Amino acid sequence: MTQTTPKPYDKKKKLVELIHIGKSKLCLDDETYRTLLETTTGKTSTKEMTLGELNKVMTRLKQLGFTPTAPKSAGKIKQDKDPQAKLIRHLWLTLHNLGAVKDPSEKALCAYVKRQTGIDLLAWLPSHKASTVIESLKKWVERVEKQAKTTESTTHIHGDFTGIIAGKNSTVVQININQP
């Protein structure tokens, strides 16, 4: 896998955005901000600056007390409060509790929804597609529960027994039980 490095333009754009956030956080009025830019780089606008000059401005803002932080929502997927979305999540977690789904995360659920519908997030699902996902999850839960009941019914054997049992689904299992 090759990882693409950000282009200088992208870095510059992000740095300009961060500088403007720093201006706001430090409560600098426009005149003070322009003076800071000019004393640091000799230019009064970030648009005219090179990447190196923008880094100098950023260093100066940090000296003045600005600490850049990641947005609170970074890396999180917003959960939709729609009743259909809640039901989809409930069914997904039910499947996890039954052992059919290994990863109960919202990210894994979104990947499943995308495979089923081609839509990335639950919040973007139209009602008719959400209904389709709900029905497929319900059927999956039914299959897993039915399989669990079939497994339970063939494993409750009492007494001395050695032999082969054919389950309801034509599954052949060899069991050796010796109980006193």
The pLDDT tens digits of the residues spanning 18-75 come to 999 989 888 888 998 999 999 999 999 998 899 999 999 999 999 988 888 766 554 4
Average pLDDT value for residue range 139-165 = 69
Q: How confident is the model at residue 170 (pLDDT cuts 50, 70, 90)?
A: very low
pLDDT, one tens digit per residue, over 67-113 is 887 665 544 555 667 889 889 999 999 999 999 999 988 889 999 99
Query: What is the rounded CA–CA span in Å between residue 122 and residue 83?
Result: 11
